[in-house]
Structure 1
Amino acid sequence: MNDPNASSKRSKVVLCAATSANVIHPHVFRTYPSRGSSLNPTIVEALCATMAIQSHFLPVKVGPQRTQKSFVGGPLGANNPTRLLLEEAGKVFGKHRRVSQIISLGCGLPRVFSMNSSERMDVDRILRDITTDCETVANDLASRLSSIDAYLRLNVIRGIESFSMKEWDQLGDIETHTDNYLAMGNVSESLDSSLRRLQARVGSVTLSQLSQPSSIRIMAKRPPPVSPCFVLREKPWRAMVDYLVTSSSSRQKILPITGMGGCGKTQLVSYFLQEHPNLYTQAVYVDASSTSSIRTDFQTWARALGDGHGTDVWEDAFRTLNSVPRGERWIIVLDNADDPDLAINSFLPQDINITILITSRNPDLGILSTTGHLELGEMTADEALSALLQAARRELPLPDQEMNSAHALLKELGCLAVALVQAGTYCLQLSSTVGEDFHPYTFTQYLDLFRSHRADLMKKAGPASLDNYQRGVYTTLDLSYKVLPQESRDFLHILSLYHYTDIPFAAFSEAAKNAFKDQEDYHPRDESHKATISRLKNLLWKDMEWNELHLQGILQTLRSFSFVTASSTNNSLFLRLHPLIQAWSRDMISSTSQPYQAMAIQVLTACSDHRI
């Protein structure tokens, strides 16, 4: 069952059986790695093990002879494995994973347990019924999860109870009773609702809540709290207040806030809502990282309203957002709308009385603006120094060497908010207090450590990180990198080998037009040079010829994740990388950089325009 070479993205399957040595304890067969038994049966063996009911089949033996185990069907009390499944899902996916749908399939409502006599045959029958019982667990779950629409139990209620195991081949009669059951109005409606939830992939309840249903209370998401290390950035703050508060408009206000990960977009939104608590009657916060997360948060928000909204689905929430009561102003925050393929337009309410804030790494979302587009770049030097000092609990004035080291850190970290807070927090953690004397871990010490262990430090996230970031700077970049096409990754690595600012786009187009060939006579080239040119053509050409649209597409993909920014001067396009993105990209290819170095050099060598 468990193929170690199979993709980790495939569906996970669990089967439960009992051994003859312990008929109560469930033995779990899995299609994925886990701790525990080393048994790895075939799928057929595992299925037979779950069905080897003693009164009907012989035990099924699995495993090598010396460690062989004998299986006798489902564990006593767990022939309905739904509870075990929920426990297993919690271990595999985590207790906070949301669930779209649990479907429990019964095999027909059984007859009532009753004993008409004390004859051995009657006793054997009832004992057999008890060992194969599935309804006790089903009834318990139905009672505990009665208020949760994510749970669906399907079980034919009439007609099948009279069938015995020996009548397994009467499939026509079984199908008739099943069709009648599925045609019942409430069953058909439940199936339709279940199908909608599965298609929408909207999770209305977590695995933790399912294990403790009495604790379920619908609560809408809230924006992250403002970090104690937050430093207000005056210029973007004034622009935001002007767009949303000061200026009047007859149009709906939509404000995209874009910038690279960790620059403080969400924190700025949280601070705005904190400073203007009475400006909006309703504030709706939505995780916009995917279609399913948007739908889930819409639905959760609607149900949290109460007053008849307890069974609302996300479409109902969207209708509510499009009908803001007269005299009220609402605001919706679509946070982390980073996926370029996300159809964010379809989730924008159009009621003029609802303001929409969108945070994203994708600058192209600026086109949605009706008020302004707030592009959040790096902090100013003064703002960056304040963030570093605040996170490290240090105050000015600093000794000259410390101040020089602090400014060097600002440059190394590119004045990126999350990296500065991470550095300051690290220094604070390693500082100490003896009596009333504070002994700081100095910025000079951190700078030396950073220069020798940059990659390791940037993968860590401090406990007091900005915006409750749970990831280090590099880890955040890694997540975006994973979804990049290979051609975009390769182009990014080439760019990172130049100086991070003012990289002329024309250099690549000129080199491509020249087929990446040397424009001057150099010393004789070896075979590796031909391989370098071939790699460049495969990367930057399309259909064996120069195609500027192809290269523009690669660049656009990188820009949509804020890996690269572009500016135009005198009709020429120049590219720029954030210093930390450059460092991260170089660190990533440190052991395999030679081909990229060769390509970066050859691009310059192939340029005939010496003005580039």
Structure 2
Amino acid sequence: QDALQWLKSKPDEWLLFFDNADDPKMDLNNYFPQCTHGNILITSRNPGLCVYADSHSAISDMEEPDAVNLLLRSAAQDTTDHNKAIAADIVKVLCYLPLAIIQAGAFISQSGRLNGYLALYAKNKTLLLSQKPTQSHDNYAWTVYTTWQISFNQLSQRAKTFLQLCSFLHYHGISEDMFRNAASYKFGPSSPSKEELQMPLEVLSQFSDLSGNWDPLCFIYVTSEVRAYSLITSHSEQNLFSIHPLVHDWARSTVSEE
């Protein structure tokens, strides 16, 4: 509180920086000086924090040339045409995700296996995205999979189940209608029995009210919870959701773990 009062009393231009403010359960407003001067910068995976901003910018995946340069720089490899061609294939498989590219670069730097990385990745994806190399090019403490696992652990069971269900759909074009229609499935003479579909029906029942009717508000709460950790992306103009392809693969792996 003393620091907030001090900033409030200073008419000069100051900058208050919140880095990685990812916890959706934390009310950042409690940490803002209550004044009309000064500047606040927030980096976060939580899209809900946009309510505090006069302007905001969503950071998407990298463009291929930038991703190639990042990989080669992280891997301490020369920027020859040959290396660029190999790197282009690697960053494409990594879906141009910056953290995954940096992690791959650190591994290549230690192993010297730029040319053989894709073959290793194909057989050891989970291991390579879970382990942080000893020598790193940044101070970020978590690996790709660790970042998502920590977020996943914060979700309610209902939100976890929703994300896992989405991992068995295509990662683009996920809609509420898919779940609503499945929840109202009508059994026929040639359809699977209720016993065979007991588990998915129990999961879908979590989105129904006490009368057994689909509850759109419940669906909004669940999807908002998952969105707060950037594990899914909302496309409001189309009323659709999508999952980053790497998150999609990882989310499916959590099913077997449970």
TM-score (norm 1): 0.40
Moved over 6 A (4+): none
Which residue of 1 is the match for residue 94 of structure 2?
413
**1:493-513 Cα distance to aligned partner (Å, 9 max, x none):** 11111221222332223333x
Which residue of 1 is the match for residue 3 of structure 2?
317
Which residue of 1 is the match for residue 105 of structure 2?
424
Instruction: Tell me the C-alpha RMSD between the 2 structures.
Output: 2.1
Q: Is the aligned partner of 1:546 residue 2:214?
A: yes
Q: Which has the higher strand share?
A: 1
Which residue of 2 is the match for residue 373 of structure 1?
56
Which residue of 2 is the match for residue 582 of structure 1?
248
Structure 2: distance between partners of 1:405 and 1:369: 40
Which residue of 2 is the match for residue 385 of structure 1?
68
Pair 1:568–1:453, CA change in 2 (3 A)? same
Structure 2: distance between partners of 1:484 and 1:376: 23
**1:387-444 Cα distance to aligned partner (Å, 9 max, x none):** 1111012233333xx655433322332211111011011001012xxxxxxxxx12x4
Structure 2: distance between partners of 1:340 and 1:389: 35
Q: Is the 8 A contact 1:492 1:585 kept in 2?
A: yes
Q: Is the 8 A contact 1:418 1:466 kept in 2?
A: no
Which residue of 2 is the match for residue 516 of structure 1?
185
Structure 2: distance between partners of 1:382 and 1:521: 56
Pair 1:523–1:511, CA change in 2 (3 A)? closer
Quote the offset at 1:466 in angstroms: 5.5
Give the counterpart letter for 1:430 in structure 2: S
Give the counterpart letter for 1:551 in structure 2: F
Quote the offset at 1:579 in angstroms: 1.5
TM-score (norm 2): 0.90
Q: Is the 8 A contact 2:179 2:204 kept in 1?
A: no
Q: Is the 8 A contact 2:106 2:137 kept in 1?
A: no
Q: Is the 8 A contact 1:516 1:536 kept in 2?
A: no
Q: Residues 83-94 of structure 1 correspond to what in structure 2 (within 5 A)?
A: none
**1:21-47 Cα distance to aligned partner (Å, 9 max, x none):** xxxxxxxxxxxxxxxxxxxxxxxxxxx
The SS at the match of 2:122 is: helix
Q: Which has the higher helix share?
A: 2
Of 509, 534, 550, 2:202 maps to: 534
Of 117, 127, 130, 1:456 maps to: 127
Of 470, 492, 497, 2:163 maps to: 492
Give unmatched runs, 5+ long, in structure 1. 1-314, 432-440, 593-612
Q: Is the 8 A contact 2:161 2:203 kept in 1?
A: no
Give unmatched runs, 5+ long, in structure 2. none
Pair 1:574–1:498, CA change in 2 (3 A)? same
Q: Residues 559-570 of structure 1 correspond to what in structure 2 (within 5 A)?
A: 559-569=227-237
Give the counterpart letter for 1:397 in structure 2: T
Overall identity of the aligned pairs, in %:
31
Q: Which has the larger radius of gyration?
A: 1
Give the counterpart letter for 1:579 in structure 2: P
Q: Is the 8 A contact 2:176 2:240 kept in 1?
A: yes
The SS at the match of 2:196 is: helix
Quote the offset at 1:340 in angstroms: 1.2
Structure 2: distance between partners of 1:521 and 1:411: 46
Structure 1: distance between partners of 2:192 and 2:179: 24
Structure 1: distance between partners of 2:20 and 2:53: 16
Bigger RCO (CA 8 Å, 6+ sep): 2
Structure 2: distance between partners of 1:410 and 1:393: 15
Of 95, 103, 117, 1:446 maps to: 117
